[in-house]
Amino acid sequence: TQTTRPQRMLAAVQKNATRGDPRSVVKAIDQFCRQKEWAMNVGDEKGCILDSVVTEVNPETVLELGTYCGYSTVRIASLLPPQAKLITLEFNPGNAAIARQVIAWAGLEDKVELVEGASGDFIPKMKEMFGIKTFDLVFLDHWKDRYLPDTKLMEECGLLRKGSILLADNVICPGTPDYLEYIRNSPRYKSQFFKSHLEYTKVEDGLEKSIFLG
């Protein structure tokens, strides 16, 4: 029977990456996506911007919306301080199953809590489920039409504090026009655009970094 692309990506990680070495897992996925099959990981170019934001924020609590196969989960978790926690939400059970194995191969399972389900259902439960007060960093990389409603939901649930950072992938391609319009015009955020390219291509894309002002 036919394997899925995430399953083929995991096989490439298990074949080419060293257990417990997050950078080798990232490299193996990027090689797979460049040489074999395109996949919607944030990729190496935007990944470097992600790394620099994570390093700058040095967050204790991170929320990732849209795990996919765990590529950005591994990039982020590998840069976190010892007691920090990353909660990542994935809707698609098949993707979640692969992501768990990719995260485990990187040896980062102790820093990561992968939750299967819809972001809209879980965001209101974050406090009671994980004892999270607020998130220092949120990486938005799930359904593009969920960026805005979920940001408003995080505001309403008190999950953002003065200085919380939102980093959004794909604000140009596929694009998140309603989110950009809101976040760039809201007096409650200060935003900055990082021009880049769609993963593994020359197509224009970028990341939007926004600071919640409270």
- Residue 210 contact partner, candidates Mg ion, ligand 77P, none, CB within 5 to 8 A by sort of partner: none
> CA 168 to CA 125: how far, in whole Å?
22
141 included as an active-site residue: yes
> CA 79 to CA 119: how far, in whole Å?
24
Beta pairing, strands 135-140 & 160-168: parallel
The catalytically annotated residue of 85, 144, 205, 209 is: 144
User: Residue 209 in contact with residue 165, Cβ under 8 Å?
Assistant: yes
> CA 174 to CA 31: how far, in whole Å?
23
145 included as an active-site residue: no
DSSP string of 69-107, one letter each residue: TSHHHHHHHTTS-TT-EEEEEES-HHHHHHHHHHHHHTT
- For ligand 77P, give the closer residue by CB, 84 or 150: 150
- In the complex, what is the shortest distance from the CB of residue 19 to ligand 77P, in angstroms, rounded to a whole number? 27
Q: How many CB atoms lie within 10 A of CB 71?
A: 29
Residues that contact Mg ion, how many (by CB under 5 A): 3
Q: Using CB under 5 A, which residues numbered 127 to 166 contact Mg ion?
A: 141
3-state secondary structure of 191: strand
User: Residue 85 in contact with residue 110, Cβ under 8 Å?
Assistant: no
Among 30, 169, 205, 208, binds Mg ion (CB under 5 A): 169
The catalytically annotated residue of 199, 205, 208, 209 is: 199
User: Residue 207 in contact with residue 169, Cβ under 8 Å?
Assistant: yes
- Taking CB under 5 A as the binding criterion, the range among 78-86, 112-120, 169-177, 186-194 that sits at the site for Mg ion is 169-177
- For ligand 77P, give the closer residue by CB, 158 or 174: 174
Instruction: Report the interface residues with ligand 77P, using CB under 6 A.
Output: 40, 66, 68, 91-92, 141-143, 169-170, 173-174, 198-199
51 included as an active-site residue: no
Among 170, 176, 196, 210, binds Mg ion (CB under 5 A): 170
170 included as an active-site residue: yes
- For ligand 77P, give the closer residue by CB, 169 or 208: 169
- In the complex, what is the shortest distance from the CB of residue 161 to Mg ion, in angstroms, rounded to a whole number? 25
Structure tokens at 29: 């996925």
Binding site for Mg ion (CB under 5 A): 141, 169-170
Catalytic residues: 141, 144, 169-170, 199
